[in-house]
Structure 1
Amino acid sequence: MADAEGLQRISAGTDRDKSRATIVEQNLSRMVDRGLATEEIKSALDRGKIDVESVRTAAMAAPEEMLGPAEAALRRLVEPPVLSLDVLGSARISVATLALAALRALPRHPVIAAIAVAFAVSVIWDGVTATWSQDARGAAATISLLIPVAMYFGLKAWNRSDEAAARRSHDEDVARLLAEWQQELLDKGVLPVLRALVNNRLPAPLRIVLNVVEAPALDRPTDATTITPTSSIRRFQEIAGRMHGGTVGIAGPRGVGKSTLIAHELNRDPAPVKLFVTAPVHYEARDFVLHLYACLCSAVIDLVCPRRTMADLRSAQRRLAASTAALAVLAATGAAAVWLTWPGRIFSLDLFGTTFHTGRSSTIALLFSAVVAVAALVMIPVLIAGLRRTRRRLLSQVSHPGLLTAIGLPARENLARIRFLQTTTSGWSGKLALPVNAEAGWTRTVQSAQRALTYPEIVAELRDFLASVVSAFRLFAPGCVVLIAVDELDKIESAELAQQFLNEIKGVFGVEGTRFWVSVSDDALAAYERRGTAVRDAFDSAFDEIVRVEHLKLADTLDLLRRRVVGVPEPFLDLVHCLSGGLARDVVRVARSMIGHGHPTNPPGLAAVCSALVEEDLRRVGHGLQVAAGRVPDTDDTTHYLRVIRSLRADPQELLDAARVLDGIAADTAVAELSALARQSAAFAYHDATLLELASVDLEAADAKAHLDLLADSRQALSAHPRLAVIMIDDFRTEFGLPPLG
């Protein structure tokens, strides 16, 4: 947690432009020290006899590398809401609340307190010693003054207590945001940099063994802040940063990290309105566009004024309006008191010589009533001004007051219209009875039914609203854009359905100041790259650019793992790359499994770890192959195939023999499905056999490193192109002096 002085400085909100630098200066070095003190880093430093200060200096020389993954959390801290209105949820701006607040405020105003007590005693005494008709004038005038006075001071007291509560809530929010940023900075920024620095300084091990048994960073799921910047990712960042509108497609095989890339760039992008929506597997274009429209409205509402805050604000405004109406009644009462006490009216008095039975002059009573009534009339505008100031204060606590009217309220109305078929009834009725028997009343009823919008109307409305959102924000920040990411379009059942879906929703693309990022399949990329030919399709015409996200290369895998685990010899990391195929998600999974085989006192070597990982791979993939074989016609070849799959063991020679048998089944069987499955299984067994043989090769040699990507690439080709995978493995084995399968 931050020190009290720093927290107070942040809470005060002064020098907002400098607050980011101030927060970073106060916390970054502290977080680096905390990272160096963790058991993981400390033990690695001790084991390698590495100078702590050199690591600290190197880390502090790259602040942006540490700050980048936690940038979104830092923005939330630097730009917190002005003040939260949550306190209004429990407050009631009513006569009772204000009266109670007034009573608490009286000790600070002794003169007013004395006058109020005198008035109260006078009214009680008059009630005891006089008839109602004789003191009606004074009582009415007195009450018409006392209530506004009480409400005025009560309102001031309520404002002070409300502001204090809001300030406490605000300080708590700032403290929470600061703690969240510090933790995110440590976990996702500082520790990865420290791990990489320590790994680079560790001396070469005398033995290639795995003595690391813990890697906390591998136990956390891969998220948008821990992305590895590959060449394709850098190209996407360059294109996304250059374009201020249009549609960019992100292509690549499943699991390569398209969703992680989109989420990462959404966190980094400074666009005020950012959406992340998922395309449906079984799509309905109209429903999806409605969902997109609703998400946009919700995002605008949350940004301009959080939904709970808007509800509190509307409730407070309604209560203020009710108080104002009550004051109008009090004003009428005061005016009536003046009118009634005027000579010649209903309660006519002789101004001279006539007294009540209490012995007081009617002249004095008349003057007293008139003064009190006039004072009441003077208090009314003062109190109404106080209510208006209170309303302005409430509005000032909205994050963006100007945007509230421009797009916040329209967004709320649009969201309600999207979700509901409305039937609204509203009304007000009142009665004011004066001594002259005057009455007034008013009522109003509205009934409305919303018809369902057609799909073209939905698209047109969404485009118009997008344009209005962009225009409204550009008044405050010229050049800003709205960013919408559509994920998992590549998971729609077939390329034809995905193409049809894209063709139906692309009507919302192309709004000025709006950027769309869409994850698509490799089919979309192929179609886009065929542009300029006679055949054009939805993929070609919908995108301004398409970027392909590739699998990780060996250097990328090493960089990713060195930021997540300390002290693992490089050959083990090479093994992880070849077994995972460079798929980021599988890299982390295989590395986590590998660490589970480490031992601090009796560490296993590379061959033992490789055998254990291959055994797990055979068991997992073999189960999937057996399930797939269950959908193949039951023949003698199928039975033979299943027996071979069930007998697979982590032995290189047995796997090579099994690969030859499976290749024979693929060539001999008349069942096409079994032939394809057996060919795929043969390539899989061949790959794992090669990996086991590789464990006895010196992987530290530079020429050996140059070919490891070829084996990883063959792993990627196993399912879609098993023949190509076998050829790639043959080429790899030739480079290492191993005989091909033949």
Structure 2
Amino acid sequence: MPRHRPRPAWQVADFFALEGEATVYLAAVDACVAEPATARRLGVRPQATVESTRAAMLTEANVARAVEPCQDTQARFRSLLEGEERLRRRLDYLRNGTHPATVLLGSTTLLTLLFLAFASWSTALAAAVVPLMTAAAVWRHPVWRMSVLLNLREWRLRPSLLLVSRRTAWAGAAWRRELEENGVRPLVARVVEALLGEDHDSLLLADSYDGLRSPRSPQYVIDSPAARSLARKITQLESGGTIAVSGSRGVGKSTLLETCANDAGFAVVVQAPATYSPYDFLLSLYVKTCESYLVHHGSDPPAFVRLSTVRRAARRLFPALRNTLTVLAFGLAAGALVVLGLAASARSLATRYERPLRTHAAEYGHRAADVVADVWRGERTGAAVLAVIAGVVLWSLRRWSRWADLRRGARYAVVAIGALLSTAAFGSLFFDGGVRSVMAGIDKDPQSFLLLTAAVLTGLANLMSDQQWEFRGRLLLGTVTRGRIAVGVLLVLLALLLTRPMAQAMVTDPENPLRLACVLAGLLLIRAGSWTPPDPTPYLMTACRDELYRLQTMQTASSAVTAGAAQLLTTHTASLSTLPPNFPELVSDFRDLLTRIAAEQHRREERVVIAIDELDRLGSDTEALAFLNEIKAILGVPHVHYLISVAEDVGASFVRRGLPHRGVTDSSLDDIVHVLPCTLEESKKILGRRASGLSEPYKVLTHALSGGIPRDLIRYGLRLDEITSKTRLVELTDIARQLILEELADTLAGFRTLLSKQRWTPRTSALLIAFRNLTGHLRAGCPCVSPELRRALEHVAFHDLHRHLGEEAAAEIEEAARNLIDEASAYVLFSLTLLDIFGEGDLARRRDEAAARGPEGDLDLLGQARQELEVSPYSARQLIGSIRTAWRLTDGPAAGLPPTVPPARGRDCPRHPRPVA
């Protein structure tokens, strides 16, 4: 879409009191027109362009409709805009040029401030006389005095104008946001629809197909009757149970199981094996349950060492080695710097306190040794009695219940000692003689005091500022944040402060390394006091890890000692191999582990779900029931909900339980949920969530082709995107014909493959020729339905074996081939019906007329007819016939239809030529 220059504000200024309002309105219109959802619809038809849309939005009626929902915000913006205009006029009046006297007075004042900051106190006082004399000279002259007064008023108004301009910009942005959301955007959508015409829904202009490209993503799953029914049944089976989810392929059983698993506290989703192997399935389920439990509690499953995978071991070793080397590199460098800085202070402390401490320690050690020796010799009876009593008390304290409180108190004491030590290090500055002497001369160095005060205030402002001030600061300063500016100012102030003699004297105090050592020791004590040992591994996590080792490995070890001539030789070997337990033991252990997991989750009021999907992949219903009979030993665990995906025939076996006899489903399943194909409304919800902006006719078309099966519904939705990208078609008639004919060609190719396996004679091969010629017509790849193609479709859709082949030839066709022909003919009739409904224009009017003739005109019956084709071609043909009657479509072949389908001629369509390679 080409970009267009915005229309000048004066063209819509008549609708607004101020030109600024017109500018904001034009910006809102341009922003809404440039949105992808709107820009995609412009240029599709000649009358719907960017120019025509903007012209319609600039009419008086549409401007009034767009502005009406946000008049309060507009009034605030207009008030601020008028105030800003008044301030600008006053500034224009005062801004007549700056008089030289004002420049002279300002320059002398600035120089005095610089002397005050960086010169001595006496020089600054002497320089302060210059601006005073300059001000007196300026004030004595009347013209200069008036110029100074005008400039002072101008300087006073400039901050006010800056603040009002910012408030006006905020109000204008707020009005524009509200104008776009509530006024312009809905009106632009209606204007574009009016420009496109009454049949704008027939255009394929979806906003996004992301939901169709991610069919298993949970964010696109919608609520369904089957999901609500399953949730109710799980709630009713509070103590656990087995629920089967029955339905045809692609109806959404897997999505339903995954949704329930995501809502549970602990869930395991497994796929049933494609071949009948209950033991292997239970073993894999056991292993996955243990791994899922470990992952659920934030622990990784154990990695088993394999002797042939040296590369895997290197991949695990190198990251750990890299982390260790990184810690050592930084740790050694940091430790070396700390030791280098504190070495002199440590030697000074050792020299000062080593001898007294050693003398006192030796003295107390000799006294304690004398007391112990006297007690041992029996010379101190009282001390011996006290020793016995102390031993008895100490033994009795081994189970004292207050040890935890004592340890907690010791930790608090360590933290308190660390805090006191760190605080004392800073507090010692006020008692240091050298620092106090430096601080006493602060009156002689006011610059240092000012810089120190500014640094402290900047740091406090940075810590105590609120979010509102920060937000406004970001607006005023653009992309530079308030925090970065404060840090930069603080660093500059500290750098200037270190250039002053007082700061240098305080930093170079000889006791500072010792104070820093005390601070580090205090911080280490605080860290040591707040450290808590890691929680011990829960029992179930240990059990799961042990079960994984038992199920996946067998560890054996052997050792031997061999006597040599001069020494003993020892040998040791170890090996790992897989040796799982037998089936009964596996069932018992799995039930025991799962029972403990379910009991733990039940205490937390969480649900445990074991979802077994794809059970219908086993083949026939007999094999599925046999597999269910083998694994039913693991079912029935308390507080565990088993969800099993089964085919329709297995579900039917459960529904007719006891008629005439009971089967394995009665003893294995507690309830069943039938997942039915979607209705038309449910299909619309699915496509509305997954393909936003898709119009209703395309939702009905995809629903009819898919029969309400969600998997096929998503597939046909992607086919729409593919056709649009390949052919650039956007009209419903063209896209519907293209999609229906392509699907019909693929389906007939499948029928021809099945028909080729039947037995044919020279007289019955005319049917194969008819199918081949029809496939040739469909290969043209053109969305136009030519008269030859329509006659070919009617020939197959309304076929009559006795009329086309004769009585004798029709009798030679076997029953299996006859059934395939009937199914193919019914599907061609269904496709022809879709072509007649969606391949012609003015769908909305014809739909209303068909609905007025009776319930057979409802478009939802098209999806039911597609579903009926899977049951029987004869019942489906009857339903399709009633639909065609309601839509006033022909119920038989056209007059003069030839007895055979003529071969296709290879000519290009002038309306839709084939692309040149």
TM-score, normalised relative to structure 1:
0.57
1:455 aligns with 2:583: yes
Shift of 1:713: 1.7
CA 1:525–1:213 in 2, change beyond 3 Å: closer, same or farther?
closer
Shift of 1:277: 0.4
1:733 aligns with 2:884: yes
Residue identity matched to 2:668: A
Contact map agreement 2:261 2:267 (CA 8 A) in 1: yes
1:412 aligns with 2:545: yes
Partner of 2:827: 684
Shift of 1:600: 13
Contact map agreement 1:212 1:600 (CA 8 A) in 2: no
CA 1:466–1:691 in 2, change beyond 3 Å: closer, same or farther?
same
Match of 1:225, SS state, is helix
Q: Distance in 2 between matches of 1:618 and 1:412?
A: 55
Q: Distance in 1 between matches of 2:554 and 2:34?
A: 57
Partner of 2:256: 261
Match of 1:540, SS state, is helix
Match of 2:798, SS state, is helix
1:642 aligns with 2:642: no
CA 1:483–1:662 in 2, change beyond 3 Å: closer, same or farther?
farther
Partner of 1:610: 736
Percent sequence identity is 26
Residue identity matched to 2:816: E
Q: Distance in 2 between matches of 1:305 and 1:523?
A: 41
Contact map agreement 1:211 1:600 (CA 8 A) in 2: no
1:421 aligns with 2:416: no
Q: Distance in 1 between matches of 2:39 and 2:727?
A: 15
CA 1:236–1:219 in 2, change beyond 3 Å: closer, same or farther?
closer
Structure label with greater radius of gyration:
2
Render the CA deviation track for 1:520-551: whole Å, top value 9, x for unaligned. Answer: 11112211111243411112321111111111
Partner of 1:470: 598
Contact map agreement 1:652 1:692 (CA 8 A) in 2: no
Render the CA deviation track for 1:472-492: whole Å, top value 9, x for unaligned. Answer: 3344x1x32311100011121
1:543 aligns with 2:669: yes
CA 1:246–1:642 in 2, change beyond 3 Å: closer, same or farther?
same
Shift of 1:259: 0.8
Partner of 1:485: 611
Within 5 A, what are the aligned runs for 1:205-216? 205-208=197-200, 209-212=202-205, 215-216=208-209
Render the CA deviation track for 1:259-287: whole Å, top value 9, x for unaligned. Answer: 112112222x1x33211101112121111
Match of 2:198, SS state, is coil
Match of 2:645, SS state, is strand
CA 1:229–1:298 in 2, change beyond 3 Å: closer, same or farther?
same
Q: Distance in 2 between matches of 1:683 and 1:617?
A: 14
1:277 aligns with 2:277: no
CA 1:663–1:272 in 2, change beyond 3 Å: closer, same or farther?
farther
The counterpart of 1:226, out of the listed 212, 220, 226, is 220
Contact map agreement 1:218 1:591 (CA 8 A) in 2: no
Q: Distance in 2 between matches of 1:538 and 1:38?
A: 63
Render the CA deviation track for 1:217-265: whole Å, top value 9, x for unaligned. Answer: 2551312332233323322233234433101111111111111121122
Match of 1:535, SS state, is coil
Within 5 A, what are the aligned runs for 1:604-683? 604-633=730-759, 635-636=761-762, 639-648=765-774, 649=778, 651-661=789-799, 668-683=811-826
How many aligned residue pairs are there?
487
Shift of 1:637: 6.6
Contact map agreement 1:459 1:508 (CA 8 A) in 2: yes
Match of 1:222, SS state, is coil
Shift of 1:682: 0.7
Q: Distance in 2 between matches of 1:630 and 1:411?
A: 55
Render the CA deviation track for 1:331-350: whole Å, top value 9, x for unaligned. Answer: xxxxxxxxxxxxxxxxxxxx
Contact map agreement 2:598 2:640 (CA 8 A) in 1: yes
Match of 2:816, SS state, is helix
Shift of 1:513: 0.7
1:248 aligns with 2:243: yes
CA 1:41–1:563 in 2, change beyond 3 Å: closer, same or farther?
farther
Match of 2:550, SS state, is helix
Q: Distance in 2 between matches of 1:678 and 1:411?
A: 58
Within 5 A, what are the aligned runs for 1:428-447? none
CA 1:656–1:505 in 2, change beyond 3 Å: closer, same or farther?
same
Shift of 1:604: 4.6
704-713 vs 37-46, which moves further: 37-46
Q: Distance in 1 between matches of 2:290 and 2:797?
A: 57
Contact map agreement 1:426 1:445 (CA 8 A) in 2: yes
TM-align CA RMSD: 4.8
The counterpart of 1:299, out of the listed 287, 292, 311, is 292
Contact map agreement 1:250 1:547 (CA 8 A) in 2: yes
Q: Distance in 2 between matches of 1:618 and 1:449?
A: 55
Render the CA deviation track for 1:49-98: whole Å, top value 9, x for unaligned. Answer: 9999999xxxxxxxxxxxxxxxxxxxxxxxxxxxxxxxxxxxxxxxxxxx
Contact map agreement 1:658 1:682 (CA 8 A) in 2: yes
Query: Gaps spanning 5+ residues in structure 1: where?
Result: 1-35, 56-193, 320-359, 375-380, 428-442
Render the CA deviation track for 1:163-192: whole Å, top value 9, x for unaligned. Answer: xxxxxxxxxxxxxxxxxxxxxxxxxxxxxx
Shift of 1:596: 4.1
CA 1:38–1:672 in 2, change beyond 3 Å: closer, same or farther?
farther
CA 1:542–1:655 in 2, change beyond 3 Å: closer, same or farther?
same
Contact map agreement 2:587 2:634 (CA 8 A) in 1: yes
1:523 aligns with 2:649: yes
Partner of 2:231: 237
CA 1:230–1:481 in 2, change beyond 3 Å: closer, same or farther?
closer
Q: Distance in 1 between matches of 2:728 and 2:213?
A: 27
Match of 2:676, SS state, is coil
Partner of 1:724: 875
CA 1:602–1:274 in 2, change beyond 3 Å: closer, same or farther?
closer
Match of 2:267, SS state, is strand
Contact map agreement 1:210 1:605 (CA 8 A) in 2: yes
Render the CA deviation track for 1:382-434: whole Å, top value 9, x for unaligned. Answer: 9xx99xx99996863xxxx57x332001001111111122225799xxxxxxx
Residue identity matched to 1:550: L
Residue identity matched to 1:520: V
Residue identity matched to 1:732: I
Match of 1:411, SS state, is helix
Within 5 A, what are the aligned runs for 1:53-452? 205-208=197-200, 209-212=202-205, 215-217=208-210, 219-223=212-216, 224-244=218-238, 245-267=240-262, 269=263, 271-307=264-300, 396=534, 401=535, 404-424=537-557, 452=580
Q: Distance in 1 between matches of 2:798 and 2:849?
A: 32
Query: Gaps spanning 5+ residues in structure 2: where?
Result: 1-31, 43-47, 70-184, 305-315, 325-354, 370-406, 415-523, 561-570, 779-784, 894-917
